[in-house]
Amino acid sequence: MIVKKGHGILHLGNDELPMKRGDIALIPRGVFYYFVNTNGELSIAYVIFTPFYDGKDMKLVDE
């Protein structure tokens, strides 16, 4: 995950990683993760998948 704008917390397995613009985190295969914006402004982050992500392991969760 690469944070391009804003800041938040990357929930990675059992860990919580504070992230801000310019931070990069490696997300190992099979580890549950999600990003929470911690301020009221727009945050932009992106993830590069390798190998190609086919969506088969996506899990929808309720907030």
In a domain, 60, yes or no: no
Nearest to 2 by CA among 18, 29, 20: 20
In a domain, 63, yes or no: no
How much is the pLDDT for 39? Answer: 82
35 vs 58, higher pLDDT: 35
Asked if 2 and 45 touch (Cβ cutoff 8 Å), the reply is yes
In a domain, 10, yes or no: yes
In a domain, 42, yes or no: yes
Tell me which residue range forms the domain holding 32. Answer: 2-46
**Cα separation of 24 and 53, whole Å?**
19
In a domain, 34, yes or no: yes
What mean pLDDT do residues 46-60 have? 76
In a domain, 56, yes or no: no
Residue 30 has pLDDT above 90, yes or no: no
Looking at the structure of the chain, the number of domains it has is 1
The mean pLDDT value of the chain amounts to: 87
Q: E strands within the chain? A: 2-5, 7-12, 15-20, 33-37, 44-46
